[in-house]
Amino acid sequence: MVYYVKQGRMPPTRHTYENRRKLLREELFGEESFDGSYSLLYHRNEPTRIKEIREVEKKDPGFGVRDVHTLVNTDLIRREGDFITGRKPLFGNDRLIISILKPSKGTTNFFRHGMRDQLIFVHHGDGSFRSIFGEMPFKSGDYIYVPKGTVYNLGNAEELEFLLIESRDNIGIPQRYLNRYGQIKEGVPYYSRDIRHPKLRVENHRKGEYFVYVDFDDRYVVETRDEHPFDLEGWDGYHFPFALNISQIMPIVGKIHQPPPVHETFSSKSFMVGTFLPRKYDFHEKAIPISYYHSNVDTDEFLYYSSGNFMSRKGVREGSITLHVRGMLHGPQPGTVENALGKSETNETAVMVESYERLGMSVLAKRLESKDYMKTWYA
């Protein structure tokens, strides 16, 4: 739940009608059956109207668990496909899949995930996220939250680059950031005003042939429709796509080193997402402004390095990914603690995913793996 939004035309009372000759088709769009957050969508056409369906098998990413730390450089992944077919899963388990998306072309087809919430991080580029809820411009540094079941299109997404997080469990604002009324509290990294939602544009689309790719993890069910899927006259509620730019996030700093949970941005039952951002460093006169050595007990730590200089890591570059597995000690590499002393700020930008279940590597990720990463702590 973010906040209440109302857009377009609808009856004054839910599940009633205004004009018997021009009935709107009411859809309850929500999660957790009828107990979670939801919105009510008012269609011109019956949303169940599907001309035909076909199935398209998806390639198994072949996730396999590794027991060593890993470095993968995603700049080696070539541009391919569109925003639907170009997704490259790199790490995952039953609850969570993390992919890189570098489309080489646009598409007029639509996408809907039938199984997973999605969190899209825009690494490079700008464009427009068009969904059944309306249009929402995006730019580099945006997180775009997409509830499962949302029909959308990223338009001409070529030359863009995304990190894609897909979750069987709901992704939301951390519960500890909310007061008992559901408002975002003071003292947390962002505020309700920083969150953007789609703006509904009521359009009369022509009849035609429209394809919606519905993702069921191992296959797509492709719907052929003769009415455009964006046919809403209005919607209201608390459940909808939204965007948050990292420039609006205010990092929390302290007199000594702050642990990773202070950088939390989104949470789920099986993982959390954090954002490391440019910020002032610790201000104790003898502070060591760099992380502890630690063994990640109970979590696998995924980091996507978006820009800047990540002080505790050597050998990473823009687009690099590290996976530090539970039970194996890691931390600053040789020389980085000494180099950090006296530093007053950092310009790093990185996305962290801490998974509470073990993350496997895909066949593609293993091909891109830097074989000597474990040796970077030995000098």
The range of the structural domain enclosing residue 265 comes to 250-377
Distance CA 30, CA 239 (A): 7
In a domain, 159, yes or no: no
In a domain, 331, yes or no: yes
Backbone angles phi, psi at 212, to 5 degrees: -115, 120
Per-residue pLDDT of 58-110, as tens digits, reads 999 999 998 999 999 999 999 999 999 999 999 999 999 999 999 999 999 99
pLDDT the model gives residue 377:
86
* pLDDT score at 65: 94
Across the beta sheet with 52-57, what order do the strands follow? 52-57, 219-225, 210-215, 110-113, 152-153, 127-131, 134-138
Q: What gap in Å lies between CA 172 and CA 265, rounded to an integer?
A: 9
Give the pairing of strands 127-131 and 134-138: antiparallel
**How many Cβ atoms are within 10 Å of 144's Cβ, its own excluded?**
22
Q: Which residues contact 161 (CB under 8 A, 6 or more apart)?
A: 100, 101, 102, 122, 123, 124, 125, 319
How high is the pLDDT of residue 314? 67
In a domain, residue 320? The reply is yes
Query: What's the rounded Cα separation, in Å, for the pair 131 and 229?
Result: 9
Three-state SS for 374?
A: helix
**Distance from C-alpha of 141 to C-alpha of 118, rounded to nearest angstrom:** 16
Residue 361 lies in a domain: yes
Residue segments in the chain with a per-residue pLDDT below the cut of 50: none
Burial-class residue 153 by CB neighbours within 10 Å (0-12, 13-18, 19+).
Answer: buried
* pLDDT at site 311: 58
Q: Which pLDDT score is estimated for 312?
A: 56
Asked whether residue 206 is domain-assigned, the answer is no
Contacting residues for 55 by C-beta, under 8 A, at least 6 apart: 219, 220, 221, 222
User: What pLDDT is stored for residue 313 in this prediction?
Assistant: 66
Q: Is residue 312 part of a domain?
A: yes
Are 100 and 93 within 8 A, CB to CB? no
Does residue 337 belong to any structural domain of this protein? Answer: yes
State the total domains in the chain.
1
b/e 112-131 (16+ beta carbons within 10 angstroms → b): bbeebbbbbbbbbeebebbb
CATH number at residue 281: 2.60.120.10
How far is residue 194's CA from residue 2's CA, in Å, rounded to a whole number?
11
Query: Does residue 283 fall inside a structural domain?
Result: yes
Distance, first Cα to last Cα, the chain? 49
Q: Quote the pLDDT of residue 1.
A: 65
pLDDT digits 0-9 by tens, 143-166? 999 999 999 999 887 789 999 999
Which amino acid would we find at residue 246?
Answer: I
